[in-house]
Structure 1
Amino acid sequence: MAVLVALGSFVMTLVGGWTAQHVADRRHLVLGFAGGLMLGVVGFDLLPEALEGAGQDVYGVPAALLLFVAGFLVAHVVERLMAMRQAAHGAHDDPDLVPEVGLGAAAAMVGHSVADGVAIGASFQVNNAMGYTVALAVITHDFADGFNTYTLTRAYGNARRKALAMLGADALAPVVGAASTLLFTIPAQALACYLGFFGGVLLYIAAAEILPEASHEHPARTTLLCTVAGAALMWLVIGTAAE
């Protein structure tokens, strides 16, 4: 089931790449909605599940919350290191100088997408309801992943065929990640800890990348409404699944 659901990530990533090539006018609405979904998944599903199953406190703080903060910080550090590398190569001055930087950034997106697929598979090991809610958040933000993978590769002077190749790799990555979880079963406590860590990563992506990007060029009320609608939808989905 996890692999079948992860195929939705494959499709959405390709849709994001297609949008990057052709139509970007309504992209901000999709990103705003994706940000709301991700916030809802973290706050209403991942964190409660992680807190319940991660076990003992560490120096007075639940292990799940420590890992949640660690996930947020790891995502922040990786993003900052990538930005520093791009600046060091003069990427903002002349993208044609260092096409490898664009390929490196796209490769990082592929690695992130593999982790997304692992998260989908791990969530299905908890129960189907969590699997579907995590998959919904991942599938929705994979639109942005596909858009950014193609855009980054092209922005630094790479040929269109290379951009399409990186887009294809990014689309396949979540399926590979989800399939890998069929080979092993994660212990319950370790699974809860992983979900806490992934929740921190997902929150960083939503708060520091998806939502600012959604409002950067289109600071419209409709974007904000899409974000609120995304969070409300996750509340409804998770609440319905719990009954």
Structure 2
Amino acid sequence: MNGNLILFLFLSVVSLLGTLLGSALGLLIKKPSKKLLASMIGFAGGLMFSVVVFDLIPECLNKWSFIYTLITIIMGIIFIYIVDNFLRKRNICTNKHLQIAILTAVGLMLHNFPEGIIMGCSFVVGGSLGLKMCILIAIHDVPEGLAVTAPMLASNVNPLKIFIYTAITALPTAFGAAMGLFIGNISQTVLGTSLGLASGIMLYVVCFSMIPEAIEFSGGNRSKMGILLGILFGFVMCTAL
């Protein structure tokens, strides 16, 4: 029991490292110009698009059939569409950039939960495999921290609050790791559902929020180049890891 507790604490710290590093990179520039924000948000959007297309959806297809994958992706899109409209109509979040950050965080939190389960179960299978998965997921989470940070920078949120909010998006990884440690193996249905929903949510956020916002900041080649570089970097990252 004590061993599992120590391992859980270790996994919790690892789950935060990548996300907070991405957030720190975004916060290094205190007053970014509109062109730089366009590049950052475009890059983060392109990166998220690549992660969905080259990582999440293929992983989901490995867990169950094409039709169930498609259904859960559509469910994720519908869910975040409802959340998006609720925020707009109720004026819960009137700042558009902050709203994008919230929607991005929701998608990432759903995405991070199955990541945590994989991490926890990997340690149950074998220590070396678990350590490898920890390193890979920490690297993988760096752009996620940037994806949440960039829109909040655009809405002039306090840097300390940005750091705290970004850390919160990593918490589901720790919860998932705890579950993975105790169940010992992954339920294909739960994992496939989580991955499908996360894919749909992230696709909606990228296509209807992040990319349009990047282009709005800078209608020129800056935003488009950021999107393209994000997609290419994401492809390389997903292929290499």
TM-score exceeds 0.5: yes
Q: Which residue of 2 aligns with 1:145?
A: 148
Q: Which 10-residue stretch deviates more, 217-226 or 125-134?
A: 125-134
**Residue type matched to 1:215 in 2?**
I
Is 1:201 the equivalent of 2:201? Answer: yes
8 Å contact from structure 1 (residues 54, 193) kept in 2: no
Report how far residue 67 of structure 1 moved.
0.5
Unpaired stretches in structure 2, ≥5 consecutive residues: 1-10, 123-128, 181-185
TM-score normalised by L of structure 1: 0.70
> Which residues of 2 match residues 155-174 of structure 1 at below 5 A?
163=158, 166-174=161-169
Task: Give the deviation of 1:86 after TM superposition.
Answer: 1.4
Contact 1:9 1:171 (C-alpha < 8 Å) held by counterparts: yes
How many Å apart are 1:220 and its aligned residue? 2.0
Calculate the TM-score normalised by the size of structure 2. Answer: 0.70
Q: Distance in 1 between matches of 2:135 and 2:205?
A: 19
Name the SS of the counterpart of 1:175 in structure 2. Answer: helix
Task: Quote the residue 2:36 is aligned against.
Answer: 26
> Judging changes above 3 Å, is the alpha-carbon distance between structure 1 residues 173 and 112 closer, same or farther for their aligned structure 2 residues?
farther
Choose which of 43, 64, 89 in structure 2 pairs with 1:84. Answer: 89
* Aligned-residue offset at 1:71: 0.7
Alignment-mate amino acid for residue 7 of structure 1: L
Write the letter of the residue equivalent to 2:199: G
2: distance between equivalents of 1:48 and 1:130?
A: 20
Which residue of structure 1 aligns with residue 50 of structure 2? 40
- Of 223-232 and 105-114, the range deviating more from structure 2: 105-114
SS of the equivalent of 2:218 reads coil
Distance 1:223 1:2, change over 3 A: farther
Shift of 1:214: 1.0
Deviation of residue 49 (structure 1)? Answer: 1.4
Which residue number corresponds to residue 121 of structure 1? 116
CA distance in 2, matches of 1:73, 1:81: 12
> Any idea what the Cα deviations from partners look like across 1:73-110, whole Å, max 9, x if unmatched?
111211111011218x9x58xxxxxxxxx8x9988776
Q: Deviations over 1:117-143 (max 9, x none)?
A: 42542454588679847963x532432
Instruction: Tell me what 2:235 maps to.
Output: 235
Structure 2: distance between partners of 1:152 and 1:171: 15
Q: Percent identity?
A: 18
What SS does the aligned partner of 2:75 have? helix
Letter of the 1:70 counterpart? M
Q: Structure 1 residues 216, 108: CA separation in 2 closer, same or farther (over 3 Å shift)?
A: closer
8 Å contact kept, 2:103–2:205: no
Q: CA RMSD in A?
A: 3.6
SS at match of 1:26: helix
Which residue is equivalent to 1:157? none
Alignment-mate amino acid for residue 168 of structure 2: A
Q: Which runs of 5 or more structure 1 residues have no equivalent in the other structure?
A: 56-60, 93-101, 155-162
SS in 2 for 1:23: coil
Q: Write the distance in 2 (CA, Å) between the matches of 1:177 and 1:4.
A: 12
1:6 alignment counterpart:
16
The 3 A distance-change label for structure 1 pair 226 and 205 is: same
